[in-house]
Structure 1
Amino acid sequence: MLREQYANTKTAELAGALGKSTTTVYQKAAGLGLTKSPEYLASPAACRLRRGDNVGAAFRFKPGQVVWNKGTNFTAGGRSPETRFQPGQMPHNTSPVGSYRLDKDGTLQRKIGNDKGNNSKRWRGVHELAWVEVNGPLPPKHIVVFKQGMRSNKLEEITIDRVECISLAENMRRNTRHNLPKELSDLIQLRGALSRAINHRIKNEQ
């Protein structure tokens, strides 16, 4: 059927008759070396397959052509005006100030405002707020952390005696591999060396 009719029949019609997609029919025809006939390509049925006569030119915007709706005002009908968001309106699922949540690290946070921008302007760790409530604003380049072994995400357990304020430099020192058990530190170092060796080999093979 495909060999007999492909040259002069719309591919979409053949696809429907064969129960295949037009892409499948095109691919099969190409594999068989079939093409559309010159008569078909010259006919209106060829549509996008036609070349040379620029069939879509009559429907394109011309340089300087004015759009049909220029200068007209659009007025939305129905209940559109009353259902739009108004300036300052918050989504219905916005958490109220004072709400609590757990972040991706399992840290309990409290919502302190609805300011736009980064989440840190709206949500703060409860452990940090506990320290600030007693000591005032954090010094520059400092953070509040739980003391060792006292981390918790239960509100009643997050108290001032469980947290401390440390510098960013101190926090970095606490989290370096040098403070880990020797076996784990050596494993991390070995993993880094292995990753570098793999990357070096991949780069040289490219």
Structure 2
Amino acid sequence: MGITANTIGSQGMDTVIALGKFIGTAYIGVIALLVIVYPIILKLFGVKVIQFYRDIKEAVFTSFATSSSLSTLPITIRSAEKAGIGERVAKLTLPIGATVNMNGTALRFGMAVIFAAEIMGISLSFNELVSIVLIGTMAAVGTAGVPGAGLIGMSIVFTQAGLPIEIVALTAGINSLVDMIFTCGNVTGDLVAAKVVDQTEKWQSSKTSS
């Protein structure tokens, strides 16, 4: 809160409004992942979406509170068992997912680049946006699942996009506010991926037995 207050006091209302839009867009983007993208994937694999979310709610809320995929991992594994994911699948896929499956973080990087471009008055072409998506995805894979790691990844993406990394410092004031929701997207994505793998394994087993 101290960092946030300093940002608000030193940057003026225009910057505060821009940061407010960034926060709002972050929450809308991750909520879209949670209520549109992930449910579609789960439905394709025959999963009851509402029941699945009820089973994993402890991990989702913990990730939101801690802003850390790795800190949440033991609870994520426990929630996976509640969701009917096999122990073997959960203990293999979830630790890997906590490191490389960063859907929320990839979303963050793309949003941050567009945010920076708007502040600098830069218009991005379609090809540049596609390039940003690819760079953001690769940078997200290498981002650690701990609080604040997203700022380091943003520096890499900004450098590749030719944007001033000083804007990363500007977003540091609201980092804790957006870190929570992006981590929530990461952990939920890990559990969705684990459920998909588990469903595939069960289908393969049933075909073999029949």
Return the structure number with greater helix share. 2
**Comparing both chains, which one has the higher relative contact order based on Cα–Cα distances under 8 Å and sequence gaps of 6 or more?**
2
- Greater radius of gyration (CA): 1
TM-score (norm 1): 0.18
Return the structure number with greater strand share. 1
